[in-house]
Structure 1
Amino acid sequence: MKSVLSALLLSVSFFSANVLATETVLAGGCFWCMESDFEKLDGVSDVVSGFTGGNTPNPTYNGDHSGHYEAVKITYDANIVSYQQILAHYWVNIDPFDARGQFCDKGHSYLSAIFVANEEERVIAEQTKAVVQAEFVDQSVVTPILAAQRFYPIQGNEIVHQDFYKKSPVRYKLYRWNCGRDQRLEEIWGDRASH
């Protein structure tokens, strides 16, 4: 069986010429981890932690962010990395079967989600999700594909959350290990997990 990454790239490659967006928003639990995972990907120039998907205005980490997902806005060069490659990287960095959150973090704000900006992105996202579901026929992929909404970047005195894995590498590594993120990713994806 082909790897999920190869299948994702092959199954949606005919859309690559039409995808013009160079930003996308993805939720995959802790935005510290998502930021770290995506900043390692060639062609990604910026990853910003924040919130999206809810109706609460100006959400904050320590204040009211009810209804929002912890998410990252990824800026990338589509000449180096395509949207489908971004999504292929995304799938192997989340647990697509957890309807309660991600890893040790539970609750709505830690749920996974793909936020699409247009119909072309929706088609690609749906196809990649179908490939993952086809690989794991005994489990249900619960990660939704949602219309993009306003993204609220972390700011003010909470900016410490941006680049947390660089600013506090020991605390970050301890958190990631204790949360069981990498262990679960390896359990699901084997050596395709990109941590």
Structure 2
Amino acid sequence: IERMPMPICRYELLDGGPYGPPIAFATVGQKIYHKWTCEPVTTDSSFCMIVHSCVVDSGLREFIDILDRRGCALDSMLLTNLEYSTDLIAGQQTQVYKYADRDTLFFQCQISISAKSHNSICPRPDCINPPSEAEDEKRKHQLPIIVNEQLNVRIPRKSNVYDFEVLEIVDVSSRLQAIENFGNETINLPKPQKQIKNPEIC
């Protein structure tokens, strides 16, 4: 049986909004747009996608979760729940942040691809609004962050997001370098937890 060609997925960081140009550098506090796109290889195929399991890393294996395994946002200061404009495009606007001692951010996500049945609606995460950094009393110690767009594919991670049949799980990532803006207040990241055991993300 010939395998159905899977869509080609990418993760972009765009300037200002969903139609802005890709960016590699941005100022802390600047508005950027996280965009995930999967493009079918053939015109006669129909797929659904869900973005989930997203983390940001300083490059030193200091991971902070920003989307959980269901695709729901975990901290509205870092990223709010995604908006799906089509079956295969998702995105959300946010402000640039940075680690205090690192100027490069590595964003990593998973995209689950499933087949879309005839006349069906693609499943979407049922998420509540995430707490903000200020509302979370546990996050008292934080580090500041920055952005540079670059597509990288990391080692695939295991995931069991939904009960629909997942055809493929794609790992995508993007990189941003943040430049400190001394005229504005810096948005800080919560202090990451050091990984003791081997993490699922490479």
TM-score (norm 1): 0.31
Q: Comparing both structures, which one devotes a greater share of its residues to strand?
A: 2
Which structure has the larger Rg? 2
TM-score (norm 2): 0.30
